[in-house]
Structure 1
């Protein structure tokens, strides 16, 4: 595969500055991810702070049970054996548990986690293992219950999972029964174009959902099937066994809640003061913790010593909340601002792999780490790709389009090309005709108005109708021109829908299953062979 760097300037300005102008934003983050010294200093601090984290043996025991169930590969158990030994570090990144792994960027994040762990191990000459954090505690079901494919007619096809009882609860607690999975698999079979790989691919997907009680389990199985051989450890943040280990961290978050809130707000104020957009809500008196009540995941807020949700469904004093934590730890979960702290409290995190949006909101958490005796880890930008197939590449060459043309002004380029096919010079000739008409007609209606005042108004109305009809004829003529070049315009459409579907980067829309169906089940292994690039530069992969 040929690989070419191409800018993709769709991230927030803060993320862009972090990736390309780190010196300008270094005060908002920890060490410089490009610096050998930062890696060495972070590793040294992790060695000195072993007692600040969950005991390794207890953590690995929990992870071993989960991975044995969903990701039971020898390489994974080798990674777990290594993690159990003091001195082993981790590279970690995560995502919500999307349908069939969700958009391509999820696969790219897993690849980055694995490759960055390899690179860090080479740099430091010590064990570094990859960990994927499945955010199963998240409750935004509508964000994860669907995915997109390119249909045979070159339009965007959506497949969606609709369980019967989808409460506002964690995705890992949202039950999906066999009938729901069967309906989804039937829809997938209809949407995927026929290919030599389709049958085997459908079997793989079917095995991942077989008896899966929730979307998170199916996600873990499919991700493990792709990356388990590379030693990628998986965890589900909603795993009750993991939650038991997290109790001391939640306890610290509750006891230091005012300090955390002040740190988040101070960081948000600084970010805004530098002219950047604050990428996550920092609510006044936000507890930044969720509590599950009667199946619903409620965000807690603090007023003095009382913790409650916005609707008043639950209310606890600080001590009552702590008592509830020890009785029912599975009812507690993190929000977007406390999850980074929980991650660092569990693992010896050398670096965390983040996408552009995540890089932006992690700046809010900088000082909060210190409130719990921690330090922000190195932030490694996720690798970013656009897959460009041979047919689309041929069309781009045919119409002399660069990748940046597609991103920035494809519609203008297409309209200019179509105008170039207009041998009748429609715009010019219609404009000349309208000018000639008005030149002859305007004096006539003015003279008629002298004869009778009402004729002037009637003549002006008549002129507007004639001009309107000319515009209508021009529009119909252009439609006829487009019909003459329908095949060519379909090629332009194929370029657009392949590389920038509905104006979004390809990696945020399409599913990896779409491309495995075209190029084979070994596609992920081929993508794993792309040289690691830790700078966050977007690359086009000619496939």
Structure 2
């Protein structure tokens, strides 16, 4: 496998706030705890160790034992779950929605980044254990975001009426989709494995939580991955004090609002990622996940007839903490309350909103984790690599917007010079003499000289564009070939990892795919990786 890398900033696909974060901008340092560098983990370990009670470890390990009932967990995973009871064990976490059949390819990259970082930390900190954790977003209710995946340019979609937390959705109706998938995959050995994997995950499990747990376990159990479901009574009980502070004091709203004000006051104009509400919890029961709203001392569940007095809502929280579901503002806190976690690994959008949360963590006395941008990669097959070599293309140029990519390529291979920069410079020199003349005679003449210069420059630019357009026509076949390879690697003019499903690559590489990614995606990398099989 050939490996290359491009700095995230140079890809053009990552936000300014993420690029600045990766460069450890001084402006952003107040909004996170420690930057994810190996030399910073020791201090993070000490802080978390002091701030995470032994009793929470026991509850966590027992809850995971219960969640893994009936799951064919590997010895490595069982050992990791058991080790969470020990005070020398810490986690590295990534979270993701319950996307059908893993959804976009970067689902794999998130988990692999988590696995690889724990492996690296074990090598550097003898006597300590580090456990990779995948947090299933079982309580999310946006079914439209997770009910499909893309294969061979086609959208494989699960059409179903859905409401409430997606993890509780039954898997009825996926039989038909299984048939659609089977027809699309074909009959190869690798295709047969994928069909069996889908069937065992979705047709042999009652709900989406169980199906996703089975699927992720099958793909990553050899690496000791621990999969956690936050929709759990015992774990939610640990969250009760924080829910109470939200209901009665609007603590998350006040702290996050101040953070947002500080972030948006920066000259970099980062903008707001998520806006907090006065209460950042939903009420969750089967088929319902709706916002809790306080009005004049009473608590209402939005778009329902459910309501509570202050005493009633506190009693409901004590008796049924599982019915209180954190939104995007408070879910990160829930994760850090129940896990001995050091680092959260997420995408650029996720980490951008995490940067709004540190003040809230400080206000409630919970250690803020390190924030690590997940690995990103472009996978290039052997055939695609041959085409790129034959066309003599630079990989970095493929990341350009298509029009810029074509223009740059045409300029590079054209047998005539399309760049009129020398002519423009010569024109500017000539006009400098006219400016001198104008100042010596009549200064009102300066405006006319300037207008003529602008007109002449625009004329050259117009001719340059016409010449470029003519060369595109002349080199039409080359334009078609380079456009095809770019479209193949960047489907829908987007990153491959955001569009394609892992199954498309598993068809070609089979059980070598995940080990190859584990071997070649490096933890703490600041580069967008290029992997050529």
- Which category describes the TM-score, using the shorter chain as reference length? 0.7 to 0.9
- Per the alignment, do residues 417 and 280 of structure 1 end up closer, same or farther by CA in structure 2, a change over 3 Å counting? closer
Root mean square deviation of aligned Cα: 2.9
- Per the alignment, do residues 413 and 309 of structure 1 end up closer, same or farther by CA in structure 2, a change over 3 Å counting? same
Distance (whole Å) between structure 1 residues aligned to residue 475 and residue 180 of structure 2: 32
Distance (whole Å) between structure 2 residues aligned to residue 176 and residue 541 of structure 1: 35
Q: Which residue of 2 aligns with 1:222?
A: 215
SS of 1:308 mapped into structure 2: strand
SS of 1:352 mapped into structure 2: strand
Aligned pairs, how many? Answer: 475
Distance (whole Å) between structure 2 residues aligned to residue 12 and residue 314 of structure 1: 41
1:81-132 Cα offsets, whole Å, 9 max, x none, are: 1111122111111111111111111110100111111222233321111111
Q: Report if the CA contact (8 A) 1:83-1:89 is conserved.
A: yes
Distance (whole Å) between structure 2 residues aligned to residue 251 and residue 71 of structure 1: 38
Distance (whole Å) between structure 2 residues aligned to residue 66 and residue 315 of structure 1: 31
1:63 aligns with 2:47: no
- Per the alignment, do residues 526 and 132 of structure 1 end up closer, same or farther by CA in structure 2, a change over 3 Å counting? same
Distance (whole Å) between structure 1 residues aligned to residue 242 and residue 529 of structure 2: 39
1:207 aligns with 2:200: yes
Structure 2: segments with no counterpart, 5+ residues: 416-469
1:501 to 491, 498, 516: 491
1:120 aligns with 2:124: no
Q: Which residue of 2 aligns with 1:3?
A: 3
SS of 1:345 mapped into structure 2: helix
SS of 1:112 mapped into structure 2: helix
Distance (whole Å) between structure 2 residues aligned to residue 421 and residue 268 of structure 1: 49
SS of 2:401 mapped into structure 1: helix
Q: CA deviation at 1:57?
A: 1.4
1:175 aligns with 2:170: yes
Q: CA deviation at 1:321?
A: 1.7
Q: Which residue of 2 aligns with 1:108?
A: 109
1:476-525 Cα offsets, whole Å, 9 max, x none, are: xx9xx89995xx77744542333211121111111111110111123112
1:146 aligns with 2:139: no
Q: Which residue of 1 aligns with 2:357?
A: 365
Q: Which residue of 1 aligns with 2:374?
A: 382
Q: Which residue of 1 aligns with 2:182?
A: 189
1:355 aligns with 2:365: no
Q: Which residue of 2 aligns with 1:523?
A: 513
Q: Report if the CA contact (8 A) 2:245-2:251 is conserved.
A: no
1:235 aligns with 2:228: yes
- Per the alignment, do residues 497 and 232 of structure 1 end up closer, same or farther by CA in structure 2, a change over 3 Å counting? same
Distance (whole Å) between structure 1 residues aligned to residue 400 and residue 409 of structure 2: 16
Structure 1: segments with no counterpart, 5+ residues: 151-155, 424-477
- Per the alignment, do residues 303 and 263 of structure 1 end up closer, same or farther by CA in structure 2, a change over 3 Å counting? farther
Distance (whole Å) between structure 2 residues aligned to residue 523 and residue 293 of structure 1: 39
SS of 1:118 mapped into structure 2: helix
1:27 aligns with 2:30: yes
Q: Which residue of 2 aligns with 1:299?
A: 291
Distance (whole Å) between structure 2 residues aligned to residue 537 and residue 483 of structure 1: 33
SS of 1:281 mapped into structure 2: coil
Q: Report if the CA contact (8 A) 1:279-1:360 is conserved.
A: no
TM-score, with length taken from structure 1: 0.80
Q: Report if the CA contact (8 A) 1:278-1:361 is conserved.
A: no
Q: CA deviation at 1:254?
A: 3.1
Q: Which residue of 2 aligns with 1:99?
A: 100
Q: CA deviation at 1:352?
A: 1.1
